[in-house]
Copies of this chain bind each other. A is one copy, B any other.
Amino acid sequence: MRKIDRLFEIVQLLRGQRLRTAEFISKKLGVSVRTVYRDIHGLIASGVPIEGERGIGYVIRQSIELPPLHFTPLELQAIQLGINIVKAVADHDVAAAAKEVALKIQDALPTKDRGKTYAPIAHIYFESDAKTRDVLAKLRGALDEKNKVEIRYINEVKKKPSRTLRPLGLEYWGKVWTLTAWCELRNDFRVFRVDRIKSCEITGDVFKNETGKTYRDYLANFSECTFD
């Protein structure tokens, strides 16, 4: 096995699982532990974000380049097109990420292909308003962290009990964003239009995936959903 291939393999091994010891890697690749240390040292020197801790093992920080991830020019066009739309549609954080992507791709493109793609996607049509974006950002955060949220719709009667939700997914339907959630009040799935949400509080409660209450379960029974 060539050294170069081995280096790729190490990255691969670290990417797949959470934690790996040098000994594990050495056995997997059929080299000595010392060599693994040397290889990893080299990888780090080349900018691969591997981190080691004594007594623990190695991890690779997520964000690392998806391995040899090739894109054809057409695929890049598709990404750029999508990214341009996303810049206008999504909440602030995702829009910023989209901008980053656009820059990275632009940098990587051979000069002659730059700006050739569907460049100026107008924002007129897509633009979400600022409030919606804020709520979106909040919900996305809650979704990532599995935090329960309490929301209130606009025009909702005040005395109505606020509902506690487990946010499961955000969908973009071209005109509006919707939040799909497990509603603890109704004990069922509910879908909410994000632009109609007046207030949104993160309760701090963390929920776990329970059978029958996950996004996957929702998707499996799509037809039965109820629009709130």
Which A residues form the contact surface with B (CB < 8 A)?
A: 2, 4-5, 7, 15-16, 42, 46-47, 62-75, 77-79, 81-86, 89-90, 93-95, 97-98, 100-101, 104-105, 107-110, 113, 115-116, 118-122, 124-126, 143-144, 169-175, 215-216, 219
For residue A100, give the distance in angstroms from its CB to the closest CB of chain B: 6
The 8 Å CB contact of A118, one of B72, B95, B101, B170, is B170
Given A66-B71, A70-B65, A174-B126, check contact A98 B78 (CB 8 Å): yes
Q: In whole angstroms, how far apart are the Cα atoms of A74 and B101 in the complex?
A: 10
Q: Which B residues touch A100, using CB under 8 A? A: 72, 75
A48 to chain B, nearest CB (A): 9
What residue in chain B is nearest A8 (Cβ atoms)? B46
Q: Which residues of B contact A70 (CB under 8 A)?
A: 63-65, 104
A108 touching B67, Cβ below 8 Å: yes
Chain B residues positioned under 8 Å from A79 (CB to CB): 79, 82-83, 98, 101
Task: Tell me, in angstroms, the Cα distance from A116 to B109 when the chains sit together.
Answer: 29
In the complex the two chains form, what is the Cα distance from A216 to B116 in whole Å?
10
Q: B108, B121, B169, B174: which contacts A172 (Cβ < 8 A)?
A: B121
Cβ contacts under 8 Å, A107 to chain B: 66
